Structure 1
Amino acid sequence: MKKIFLMLLAGGLLVSCASKKDLEAALAKQKETKELLDTATVKLNACLADERASNARIEGFKEQITTLKNSNNALLSNQGDLVTLSTQGSRNLERSLESMREKDLQIRSLNDAITKKDSVTLALVTSLKSSLGNLQDEDISVNVEKGVVYISISDKLLFSSGSDKINENAKMVLGKVAKVVNDKPEIELMVEGHTDNQPISSTKFTDNWALSTARATAVTRVLQEDFNVAPKRMTAAGRSFYIPVATNDTPEGRAKNRRTRIIVLPKLDQFFDMVEKGMEEAKANAKKETEMKKN
């Protein structure tokens, strides 16, 4: 009887160990799948940008076809002055072709700018995940939505309940974010504070608006004072409880809604400068090609 009991106990321990290994393997597979999903999201955004550029080119071609048809109709309806109309039609055709070349080059320039932006986004996500890789998913996550990088940090990691004072242990996390940010001066940050819908009223905070704004400001202050992130690159915003990511009807949902979100943005003025420069170069190149064809 004693031998049978010992055999059953050993078998149970083996099953327990096997289950734990299966769970660890499943968690590792889940993390790998999530990283692949984020990478696929960035690539999807690039494909969508290509589609938009192609549609714009098609519309441009349609406009040129209409112009050419109008020129042709004008030639046919005025045969009495054939020489004059032929000359005018030739000029219209040249202008139409020049315009088509210009639009084509401009669309290519815009597509190149978008592709460059998406490449920067993918590199940023890779750097952040590498830096923050040892943290639990429920405490911090890095996601890409519509080409924008979001870092979401749970309040249990950053703050005590009802407080805007950042925990000392949380500064390690913000330091890792700051290192990536400081290595990429072409990006800016918006720090958003979010709460659940439970009312708060204290001597320091009159409501959730005040609490969420104070927490966002506290994060930007630590990034500036402790990790030398330039303040002109940051914006602090309180969002109260009006943008939940889960239901506020359960404790688990409210815990997910209490968070600080860091939105990583490219400097839009630099992006648009790059687009504008590409457009000007496209226009100049189109005119140059037209002159070369005339000669």
Structure 2
Amino acid sequence: MNRITLLLLLLVLTGTTLQAQNKKELIAQVNSLNAELQSTKAELTESKKNEKISAARADSFESQLKGLEENNATLLQNLNNFTAQSNNKLDNLSSVMESLRKKEAELKFINDALTSNDSISLLVLTKLKQTLGENANIKVERGSVVVIMDQTALFGANSNNTELQAGATESLNKIAGIIKANPDMAVTLEFHTDDASSWEIIYKQAASVTPIIGNTPDVKAERIMVSRKTDLANSLYIMLHPDFNSFYLNLRQNMKK
């Protein structure tokens, strides 16, 4: 009986001990699972937090990328505009340079022509003084070398006379030689008379002078012009000057190049 009781007691103690041990193990397992659950929750929370951060970063990166794309597009447009403006400026600069080149060529042509005319006028002036003598009435006026001849010495005391005096021919022949030697110069016969002299008389007097100074094919008719100035000088101004018609014609042709 005692042995049975002891055995039963032993079984009860053993069962109680096993039960207590199982309970501790279950509690330990529960605690372990709770700890694992808390860790998982913490990881999940951290993951969600990281996901939000990543999403925010992604939105930020996307926004920055969009901004960069817009900036790049703006920069590319500005670059295209700058390139177009630069090309326009280059074209305008080329046009300005070409215009300046033409102007420079025109100015050079004018300067060379004026320099040449001045040189020729100086030579003509010197030659006239050597040919006609230092007492001859010669001057430079309005770009022309002018030989002033007394009307009376040419046509006599009668202002209506149209035939040359005998002594006038020699001086006119000397002037004619210089005119022939300078084919680039034109000649103007400018009659200085009073109001009483008519154009008819002037033209007849000019017709007496022109055969002498233009008695060679080298002196073309268009090189000689006749004009009149009303004053009391009673003189003939034989003016040797550049052929301005030819000069302006050459200038216009030069400007068209």
- Please say if residues 216 and 238 of structure 1, whose CA atoms lie closer than 8 Å, have aligned partners that are also in contact: no
Q: SS at the partner of 2:157?
A: coil
- Please say if residues 216 and 236 of structure 1, whose CA atoms lie closer than 8 Å, have aligned partners that are also in contact: no
Shift of 1:234: 4.9
- Please say if residues 174 and 223 of structure 1, whose CA atoms lie closer than 8 Å, have aligned partners that are also in contact: yes
- C-alpha RMSD over aligned residues: 2.9
- Please say if residues 164 and 218 of structure 1, whose CA atoms lie closer than 8 Å, have aligned partners that are also in contact: yes
Structure 1 residues 155-188: Cα deviation after superposition (integer angstroms, max 9, x where no partner): 2221212222211111111111011111112222
Q: Distance in 2 between matches of 1:189 and 1:219?
A: 12
Q: Which residue of 1 aligns with 2:208?
A: 218
Shift of 1:277: 6.2
**Is the alpha carbon distance of 1:229 and 1:193 closer, same or farther for their aligned partners in structure 2, counting shifts above 3 Å?**
farther
Instruction: Choose which of 133, 152, 159 in structure 1 pairs with 2:155.
Output: 159
Q: Which residue of 1 aligns with 2:185?
A: 187
Q: Which residue of 2 aligns with 1:63?
A: none
Q: Which residue of 2 aligns with 1:108?
A: 108
- Please say if residues 181 and 229 of structure 1, whose CA atoms lie closer than 8 Å, have aligned partners that are also in contact: no
- Please say if residues 121 and 241 of structure 2, whose CA atoms lie closer than 8 Å, have aligned partners that are also in contact: no
Establish whether residue 262 from structure 1 lines up as the match of residue 255 from structure 2: no
Q: SS at the partner of 2:128?
A: helix
Q: Distance in 2 between matches of 1:238 and 1:118?
A: 23
- Please say if residues 138 and 148 of structure 2, whose CA atoms lie closer than 8 Å, have aligned partners that are also in contact: yes
Q: Distance in 1 between matches of 2:217 and 2:102?
A: 45
Amino acid paired to 1:211: I
Q: SS at the partner of 2:186?
A: strand
Establish whether residue 232 from structure 1 lines up as the match of residue 221 from structure 2: yes
Shift of 1:266: 2.3
User: TM-score with structure 2 length normalisation?
Assistant: 0.58
Structure 1 residues 109-158: Cα deviation after superposition (integer angstroms, max 9, x where no partner): 22112111111111111111111115x4xxx5222122112221002221
Structure 1 residues 214-252: Cα deviation after superposition (integer angstroms, max 9, x where no partner): 222211133345x7773514546363xx532xxxxxxxx
State the 4+ residue runs in structure 1 displaced beyond 6 angstroms. Answer: none
Instruction: Choose which of 172, 175, 178 in structure 2 pairs with 1:177.
Output: 175
**Is the alpha carbon distance of 1:182 and 1:79 closer, same or farther for their aligned partners in structure 2, counting shifts above 3 Å?**
same
Q: Which residue of 1 aligns with 2:93?
A: 93
Instruction: Choose which of 137, 140, 144 in structure 2 pairs with 1:141.
Output: 137
Q: Which residue of 2 aligns with 1:243?
A: 230
Establish whether residue 209 from structure 1 lines up as the match of residue 199 from structure 2: yes
Q: Distance in 1 between matches of 2:92 and 2:192?
A: 59
Amino acid paired to 2:241: L
Structure 1 residues 81-127: Cα deviation after superposition (integer angstroms, max 9, x where no partner): 23322322232223223332332233222211211111111111111
Q: Distance in 1 between matches of 2:218 and 2:170?
A: 15
Shift of 1:79: 4.8
How much identity, in percent, do the aligned residues show?
A: 25
Q: SS at the partner of 1:82?
A: helix
Amino acid paired to 1:169: G
Q: SS at the partner of 1:194?
A: strand
Structure 1 residues 49-77: Cα deviation after superposition (integer angstroms, max 9, x where no partner): xxxxxxxxxxxxxxxxxxxxxxxxxxxxx
- Please say if residues 210 and 238 of structure 1, whose CA atoms lie closer than 8 Å, have aligned partners that are also in contact: no
Q: Which residue of 2 aligns with 1:64?
A: none
Q: Distance in 2 between matches of 1:147 and 1:158?
A: 25
Q: SS at the partner of 1:129?
A: helix
